[in-house]
């Protein structure tokens, strides 16, 4: 069920401007109303032409400067919206530090507040009733929600305190997608990439995958693992966006690196009509080498290009 635009904008410390409609309903729990406004008059309600940045985990052991440098690169590209995959604050299961943790994030967010930012709940964001209240208050979002951007549909689900989606959440997802059959493309986001093993063991019997196929979901996007990973099944692209600031020291100490998906990055998306083009951008400077590649050039075994110079696969000429 699609609710009408709100009569008033509820308080949100981040004061985000959201130039699109957001569904405010849930079969799982009470939801916080979210600001919404109409599309610009010049934009066709059926047309898609926008750019989106998908942010990886900030925390799970935040490395100095990395998240800020990721945001700097995103800012230079100027997306129409940004969606994260969770783990915005350090967490630590200490309710008494919640206010300080969110205060520190607000200082970062304020610098780039001109970009609509959509939050996915992560296990470092929510671990207790108090942290759930703080997440709702600070982000202005419910734990499970959907929103439109032009003719695209996004559904965000909460796996902060469980590694898998519940039956109730899958019901919520199916109800939302059924109500937005005409929307295209469709994206589903949640923090834990439990689909990695589920697709290997029983893709045909995996309810999430069945729903995605039935309603034409093109992309299912997660985070949590601090590594980039991609699977494609029956036309559905599954992505694990890696670290946009969360530490990878343990992985690096064990010899993992770029080829294993361990590098600081974000994912840049261009949506034109029904077509979605996704490019992975590694951080430049102190955090990486600035390598870029299309998601199609990375399969389940890793990169299908020369990691020393991804451009070589395009046979550049002068």
DSSP state letter for 113 = T
Cα 71–73–78 angle (5° rounding)? 90
Rounded to an integer, what distance in angstroms lies between the CA atom of residue 161 and that of residue 139?
Answer: 18
In percent, the amount of the chain with pLDDT more than 70 equals: 86
- Closest by alpha carbon to 36, among 66, 75, 65, 7? 7
Give residue 75's pLDDT.
98
Fold for the domain defined by 22-313: Purple Acid Phosphatase; chain A, domain 2 (3.60.21)
Rounded to an integer, what distance in angstroms lies between the CA atom of residue 5 and that of residue 49?
Answer: 23
Sorting pLDDT into bands at 50, 70 and 90, what band is 317?
A: confident
Phi then psi for residue 107, to 5 deg, are: -65, -35
In percent, the amount of the chain with pLDDT more than 90 equals: 75
Helix crossing, 207-215 with 167-179: angle to 10°?
Answer: 0
More confident call, 288 vs 204: 288
305 and 82 Cβ atoms separated by less than 8 Å: no
- Closest by alpha carbon to 146, among 42, 293, 31? 31
For 246-264, what is each residue's pLDDT tens digit?
998 888 888 899 999 999 9
Give residue 250's pLDDT.
87
Pairing of strands 219-222, 236-240: parallel
For 53-104, what is each residue's pLDDT tens digit?
999 999 988 888 999 999 999 999 999 999 999 999 999 889 999 999 999 9
Please provide the size of the chain in residues.
318
For 110-140, what is each residue's pLDDT tens digit?
999 999 999 999 999 999 999 999 999 999 9
Sorting pLDDT into bands at 50, 70 and 90, what band is 21?
A: low
Indicate the average pLDDT of the chain. 87
Q: Which run of H or E residues covers position 198?
A: helix 195-202
Give residue 3's pLDDT.
34
pTM of the model: 0.87
Buried b (16+ CB within 10 A) or exposed e, 177-186: beebeebbbb
Q: How many CB atoms lie within 10 A of CB 281?
A: 20
For 153-176, what is each residue's pLDDT tens digit?
999 999 999 999 999 999 999 999
Phi then psi for residue 188, to 5 deg, are: -125, 130
Torsion angle of C-alpha atoms 80, 86, 87, 91, degrees rounded to 10: 120
Q: Residue 292 class from Cβ within 10 Å (0-12 exposed, 13-18 middle, 19+ buried)?
A: middle
Rounded to an integer, what distance in angstroms lies between the CA atom of residue 141 and that of residue 146?
Answer: 10
């Amino acid at each position: 069920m699609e609710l009408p635009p709100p009569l008033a904008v509820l308080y949100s410390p981040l004061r985000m401007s959201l130039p699109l409609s957001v569904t405010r309903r849930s079969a799982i729990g009470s939801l916080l109303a979210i600001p919404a406004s109409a599309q610009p008059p010049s934009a066709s309600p059926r047309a898609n032409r926008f750019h989106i940045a998908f942010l990886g985990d900030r925390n799970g052991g935040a490395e100095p400067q990395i998240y800020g440098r990721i945001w700097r690169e995103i800012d230079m590209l100027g997306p129409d919206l940004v969606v994260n995959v969770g783990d915005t604050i350090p967490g630590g299961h200490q309710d008494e530090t919640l206010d300080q943790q969110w205060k520190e994030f607000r200082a970062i967010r304020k610098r780039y507040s001109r970009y609509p930012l959509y939050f996915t709940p992560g296990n470092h964001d929510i671990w207790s009733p108090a942290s759930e209240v703080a997440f709702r208050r600070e982000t202005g979002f419910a734990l499970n929600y959907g929103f439109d951007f032009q003719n695209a549909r996004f559904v965000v689900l909460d796996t902060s305190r469980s590694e898998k989606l519940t039956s109730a959440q899958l019901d919520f997802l199916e109800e939302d997608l059924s109500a937005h059959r005409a929307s295209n493309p469709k994206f589903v986001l949640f923090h834990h990439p439990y689909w990695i093993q589920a697709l290997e063991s029983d893709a045909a019997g995996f309810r999430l995958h069945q729903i995605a196929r039935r309603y034409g979901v093109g992309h299912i996007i997660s985070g949590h693992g601090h590594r980039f990973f991609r699977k494609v099944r029956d036309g559905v692209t599954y992505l694990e966006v890696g670290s946009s600031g969360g530490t990878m020291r343990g992985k690096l100490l064990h010899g993992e690196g770029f080829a294993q998906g361990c590098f600081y990055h974000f994912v840049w998306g261009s949506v034109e009509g029904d077509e979605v083009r996704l490019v992975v951008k590694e951080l430049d400077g102190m955090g990486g080498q600035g390598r870029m590649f299309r998601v199609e050039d990375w399969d389940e075994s890793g990169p299908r290009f020369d990691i020393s110079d991804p451009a070589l696969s395009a046979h550049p000429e002068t």
